[in-house]
Structures are given as C-alpha cells and as structure tokens.
Amino acid sequence: MNSKPYTLLIVDDNPNNLFSLHALLDRLLACRVIEAQSGVAALGILLEERVDLVLMDIQMPGMDGFETASHMKMTEKTKDIPVIFITAFFQDGEFVRHGYEIGAVDYLTKPLDDNLLLNRLRLYLQLFEREKGLQTTLSLVQQKEHALEQVNQELEARVMERTRELEIRNQMLEREIAERKAVELELRHAKQVAEEAARAKSDFLATMSHEIRTPMNVVIGMCDVLLDTRITIQQREYIIKMQNAGGMLLELINDILDVSKIEAGQLLLMEDTFDPCQLLNHTVEMMGLAASRKGLELTLETSPDLPEFILGDPVRLRQVVFNLISNAIKFTDSGQISIRLSRDIARDGASWLQMTVQDSGIGISTEKLDCIFEKFTQADSSITRRFGGSGLGLTISRRLVSMMGGSIQVKSRPGEGSTFQVRIPCRMAYASESLPHHVTEIAEDSHSSTLCATDYPPAQQEVIPEDINLNILLADDSEENILVIQAYLMNTQCRLEIVENGLQALEKFKEKRFDLVLMDIQMPVMDGCEATKRIRHWESQVGIAATPIIALTAHAMMDVTQKIKNAGCDMHMTKPVRKKYLIEIISYFQKRRVSSQGALKGSS
C-alpha cells in the first residue's frame, strides 16, 4: 500500500532528464513518482492511476506536451489535474500565454532550481489548482500559414467558378420570384374569397338561427304553457311528442352552430367555479327519464377524493357529458349505462378529472372507431336511419375536450358495448356565489356580469315557484313572443309592462322604476343593444343603481354575444326561452334585490 500522500507524473522523452528529475523529487519531496517518455504513454498512465500533478516536457516527438495537456482536458478524469511545463530554451510571451490558455499552471526552465521546484510543487499540491496549457510552436504556425496560402489560392479559383454559377442561378431566381408573386396574388385573392365566404356563412347561420328560433320559441313555449293546463292524457302525450320534436330540432340547430363557431374560432371557453359532482348528478338525473323509457339502468359512481370545486367551463363540460350519455342511451336497447367520475394524479403530479361512460349497446367495429368523431359521420350508414341523429355530437365533444386541454378516447366491440373516457385538467378552486345551474358567467365589465343561459330541455315537468313579485318591463315586437312571456308569468305576482321597441323601452324606463327588464335584441326603431346602452347612460347620469337587464335573442353567434355584453346587459337567454329557466332566473334576481335591500337597512 502506497504511504506517500501525493502522486506525480513526469513526462520527458530524454531518459537522462527523467532519471535526474526523479531523483531530485525523491530527495526533495515525499511523493510517489511515475515516469513516462511520451505523451501517449502519459495519457495511458493518467487513465489508470490517480495523479495529483504532472511535470511535462514540452518538446517531445509524436505528441508534444501541449497536445498531451489538451487531451487531458478533454477527459473527465484528468481535466482538473494541474500541469507544469518544463522547457529548456527561451520562448516569447505568445508561447507562454498560449500554454496558460490550455490550462497550464506554471512554466519551469532547465536546469531546474531545487528550491523553486519544491516550493512550486508544494503550492500546487496544497491548493489543487489545476489549469490547462496549450503549446503553439513557430514551426506549426508557419506550416499552417503555408497551408492557408494554398487554401486561399484554391478558394479564389472556387469563388470565380461559384460567381459564374450564382449569376446563372440569380437569373433562375428572378423568374421563380416572379412566379411566386403571381401565386401570392392568387392566394391573397383566394383568402379574400374564403373570408367573404366565411362571413357569408356566419351571416347565414345567424339569420337562420334567428328565423328558426323565433317560431321555435312560440312552439316550445306554448307546449310548456299547455302542459300546465287541464288537458287529457292523450293531449298531454301529443304535446310531449311535439315538445320532444322541438327539442330535437333545437339540439340540431345548436350542434350546427357549435361546429360553425368552433371552425370560425368564435367559440371561447369560459372560466367559472363549479362542483363537478353536482354537475354530473344533475345531468344524469336529467337523462334518467330517457333511460327509464327504454328500460335502461343509469348508474353514477363518484370517487371520494374528488375536489368540491374546480375551475373550468361547466356549460361546455355539461354539453360533453350530455352528448356522451345521450349517445349511450340512443345506441343501447337493453342493459345498463354506467358513469364514473374520478380523479387521477399523473406521474408528473398533474391532476386530471376523469369521466367514463360505459354502455351495453350495439358497439363499434375497430376500423370505425376514428371516423365516429368526424362531422356528419356515424359508424354505419344504416345507424342514421335506425337511430337518427346528425353525427355532430361526438365531433363537438372531442373538439370541446381538446380546447379544455384534455382528451377523449373510446374502446368498443360490436355487440359488446362502448366505453368513452374523457380526461381534462383538474384545477381545484374555492366556492363562489351560487347561480342557477344552467347559468354560467361569461364576462365582466365595470358595472355588471354578462351571463349566458343554456337551454337544455327539462327531463320532466317540475313545480315552478310562484312567489316572485317583480315589476318587469318587456320590450319585444313579436306578439307571439309577448304571449309566451305573459303565459309564463300568468300565475305569478309579477307586474308586466310591454313595449314594442327599444325607444319605447327607454322612455318607459325613465318614467317608472322597474325591478327587471326583459329586452329583445332585434326590434324596429331602436334595437335592444342600443336601448340598453342608453338606459345604462341615463342611470349613470341620474346616479341610480343599475337595473338588471336580460337580453332575449334568437341569435347564438359569438359576435352577437359580445355585442350584448358590450351594451351592458346583465345576462342573455337564447330563444326558445323555457318557462322553468326564466322563472328560476327571475327568482335569482329577486333574491339578490331582497338581499341588497336588507343590507341597506342594516347599514342605516
């Protein structure tokens, strides 16, 4: 076992120099000395032995000291070993500086001074400062300069040849640039045509939405009213069938609009705080009647570790859940449909909300699994004739889930049912003020929140509270729509005043205080948005609190929604307006009014 604390490696091609230096080190310093007569031999020793310091002659055949030091610095084991160069003749400052740049820690000249060597070795062994050095010799520089001269001559010849080639290519590029400009002009024209077509499509969809929803508002609204009257069992059955048909038509309109808004980049996800378990419970409860009519068992299982509240878009998530459960009910004739909601923690610590919808229906063949997410596509063309449907539900669901940062997968076999799994990021949140379940906040401005009500058909007729008693101003130019709202509020204590356009609504609002305004957007003389802006301006001038204004619109496109928000409406409801939802929202604003009045009394 070696008892000497340090190991030194001396490298010199002269055996006499090695012998004298070895003897000198044994006499002056208690250290282990290893010899090498070449740079290659030195590198081999360094890879096998633990060495604390290297004393290296610079001038050696084959691999000189500088090159050997350079190789040392390129190896992890040897890169920090200090190197002291030994030279027998004078060199200029550039030579010395070059060695230090490589990493040398010092230079010593022959013949060596014993005390100087001992002091230097003790210093570097104590501090363990290891630096690199490179050697450039005058002969190597001269060789490289000579080589550079030859290269320069070759380069000049190549440049002349290359110049001739470039002149030819420049001519070709000029022709190509002219062709590209022509193509760019064609592309700009095509882009302009496409943008105009997209605008025309949006205008057409908005118009069709308005024209279809307006009579649908009357049809579905009157069905709601008739179901509250005394009718025979057969009449009730007829009305429910008519109501279901209206709901199917409305669902198709919504799906087409959603796809169009997604493709046009107009569909934006909102962010709200909601309870995922409550959302799923409500949706499953809503779909329970449709499942029971087919004799299907609809079950829901929720994991106990789910957060109470998360951040996200509850309306669009409910739409995804609604589509998947509707699909499962549609394509299952017997058996059960199981829904499971759980939380999954990934390896990277990310939290995911995971929902699984499993049915015992007809199933899907493996080669058709991908195409079911395409627009207007179903796994089998006969399915449309047998089960109906537009083939848009899954398309919308996948795109919505993707916009949420999640994914939707499906596993299925013909005759064995299907399993759809949705995964979205689970961002935990705290509870916020409770609103009706179909209302989702979509924006905020300086004085109010703009809300959007989603019109899902109710699973069954429910008892509607009748203890609301607000003074309501209704602005609408359609006699049929007015009749529907009057019928909705017939059995309540609300006082309803009616005007036919926005200008009349503004004048009536200035004459009398109202608790709530129902403002149709599309009216003659002055539309609902302009009337709302002027009402908000008048309120600001006279210094009174803002009255809640609910926009009633047959439009559902994003630009109309933004226009309503900018006008100052507190929320908007897309036609057809359902009685149950209208009453719930009116009740919400009444509770808010009562709460604010109580707060004022308490402060006084």
491 band by pLDDT with thresholds 50, 70 and 90: confident
437 band by pLDDT with thresholds 50, 70 and 90: very low
Helices (H), 4-103: 15-28, 39-48, 65-73, 93-102
Percent of the chain with pLDDT over 90: 15
Span 550-564, mean pLDDT? 75
C-alpha atoms less than 13 angstroms from C-alpha of 310 in its C-beta half-sphere: 22
505 band by pLDDT with thresholds 50, 70 and 90: very high
For 348-380, the pLDDT digits (tens) are: 878 899 999 999 888 887 777 767 766 545 545
Pick the most confident of 82-86, 209-213, 388-392, 538-542: 538-542
- Cβ distance 360 to 335 under 8 Å? yes
For 304-316, the pLDDT digits (tens) are: 888 888 888 888 8
For 518-534, the pLDDT digits (tens) are: 999 888 999 999 999 99
Among 115-119, 130-134, 161-165, name the one with the lowest average pLDDT.
Answer: 130-134
In sequence order, which residues have a C-beta less than 8 Å from that of residue 514 and are 6 or more positions away?
470, 471, 472, 473, 497, 547
Handedness of CA 510, 514, 517, 522 (dihedral sign): negative
The per-residue pLDDT for 508 is 94
Span 496-509, mean pLDDT? 94
The per-residue pLDDT for 345 is 84
Handedness of CA 464, 469, 473, 479 (dihedral sign): positive
The per-residue pLDDT for 554 is 72
What are the tokens at 52?
Answer: 């604390």
The per-residue pLDDT for 444 is 31
Span 464-470, mean pLDDT? 69
Alpha carbons 459 and 209: distance in angstroms, whole number? 24
415 band by pLDDT with thresholds 50, 70 and 90: confident
Among 125-134, 168-177, 468-477, 572-581, name the one with the lowest average pLDDT.
Answer: 125-134
Span 161-174, mean pLDDT? 88
555 band by pLDDT with thresholds 50, 70 and 90: low
Span 50-61, mean pLDDT? 87
pLDDT tops 70 at residue 457: no
What are the tokens at 111?
Answer: 């013949």
Counting beta carbons within 10 angstroms of the beta carbon of residue 301, is it exposed (0 to 12), middle (13 to 18) or buried (19 or more)?
exposed
pLDDT tops 80 at residue 70: yes
DSSP structural state of residue 438: T
The per-residue pLDDT for 113 is 73
Q: What is the mean pLDDT of the chain?
A: 79
In sequence order, which residues have a C-beta less than 8 Å from that of residue 40 and are 6 or more positions away?
62, 63
Q: Which residue has the higher pLDDT, 196 or 253?
A: 196
Strands 549-553 and 571-574: parallel
The per-residue pLDDT for 341 is 92
559 band by pLDDT with thresholds 50, 70 and 90: low
Task: Report which of 437, 592, 436, 598 is spatially closest to residue 516, judged by C-alpha positions.
Answer: 592
